[in-house]
Structure 1
Amino acid sequence: MNKIIFETERLLIREIEVTDFDNLFSICSNEELMQFVGDGILSKELTQKWIEVSIENYASKGFGMSAVIHKSNNLFIGYCGIVFSKAINDYELIYAIKKEYWGKGLATEVAARMVQYGFEKLKFKTIYASIDPANIASEKILLKIGFREIYTKHDEAGYPTIYYSRTDEVII
């Protein structure tokens, strides 16, 4: 189906599909990529369930976790999206990019555009993000795209987590 959500200069963001399972599982089962993600490594069953929930979210809410495709080679390089977080009872930005694409500004590129999409298309007034305090790379991305730290608390699993927010305000 390949329903495109938006494009950036180097990336194509589209709805996740059942056929993305192997690519998504290669990220969700990678210890280094998932070390800072609250849910940690996902099993095959949980990865499949996440795809199913995401497809349902597109149908019922109009958004969810999305595939990140690099335009230069048409490869699935990560995921990004806005999802409902039970921990904050609101909508949260999520993203992960395969390690071989780190350090090229791609996570910043897709995260910034996803936030813009959240404000312009989905009409959110505030978008949240949460990170492990050791995830310095994600902290830099969030600060670069206009998020501000709001508090630190322990997540559902008992791990310290820094929460950020960004509002849809025009800064003059």
Structure 2
Amino acid sequence: MMSQPVLHTERIRLVPLSAGHLEHLVELSADPEVMRYLAGVQTPEQSADELRRTLAYAGSGIGCWVGFVDAAFAGFWSLRPGESAGEAELGYRMLREYWRKGLGKEGAREMLRHGFRDVGLDRIYARTAALNKASQATMAAIGLRHVRDFVADPEYFAPGDDLHAVEYAVGRDEWLARS
């Protein structure tokens, strides 16, 4: 079984998530703006539960990575098991101080490269709230195409939020042809 490697971009060092990174997840998940289009602000206990669930799916080259710019924690990037064999869901979440600097896109591009070239995935998709235009712009910038609108599971968003969501995706052959 392939373990998660340490990955690098021009500015980000991506280290496989471990139990020792809980303080970073707590910090990130406590920010209402970071969590605006997710399940809402999390308590430290909820962050610990999320960490346990995330560590449970790591393996075969996929999982979650903690991103550091220089020595400072910047955010998380992930490839979660998809709904079908050979696919994964791309995710990213960053501290506000790192927004609008191209780091989300940089880390997400590395997730695509790793997923298609190293892991051999056939398809990578990402989902977000229909209102989350910044995340959709990142998805489009890295080459994912809008494939559908849908109504999300209420557990995915904070209570009372609009449940309209979008999915963007790219297949391996299409990504390789452009790379």
Partner of residue 19, structure 2: 18
Cα deviations across residues 46-97 of structure 1 (Å, max 9, x unaligned)?
2112222333333x443212101112xx0111000111356x8952100011
User: For residues 55-66 of structure 1, what are the structure 2 equivalents within 5 Å?
Assistant: 55-58=55-58, 60-66=59-65
Q: Specify which of 96, 103, 107 is matched with residue 104 of structure 2.
A: 107
Runs (5+) with no aligned partner, structure 1 = none
SS in 2 for 1:32: coil
Q: Distance in 1 between matches of 2:55 and 2:48?
A: 11
Q: Distance in 2 between matches of 1:48 and 1:61?
A: 23
Runs (5+) with no aligned partner, structure 2 = 155-161
Partner of residue 166, structure 1: 170
Query: Cα offset for 1:122?
Result: 1.3
Q: Distance in 1 between matches of 2:123 and 2:16?
A: 22
SS in 2 for 1:124: coil
8 Å CA contact 1:64, 1:81 repeated in 2: yes
Q: Give aligned pairs, total.
A: 165
Q: Root-mean-square deviation (CA), in Å?
A: 2.0
Return the TM-score normalized by structure 1. Answer: 0.87
Q: Distance in 2 between matches of 1:61 and 1:42?
A: 28
Query: Cα offset for 1:120?
Result: 0.9
Q: Distance in 1 between matches of 2:117 and 2:127?
A: 22
Partner of residue 34, structure 1: 35
Partner of residue 159, structure 2: none
8 Å CA contact 1:4, 1:12 repeated in 2: no
Q: Distance in 1 between matches of 2:15 and 2:168?
A: 25
Return the TM-score normalized by structure 2. Answer: 0.84
Mean Cα displacement is larger for which, 111-120 or 14-23? 14-23
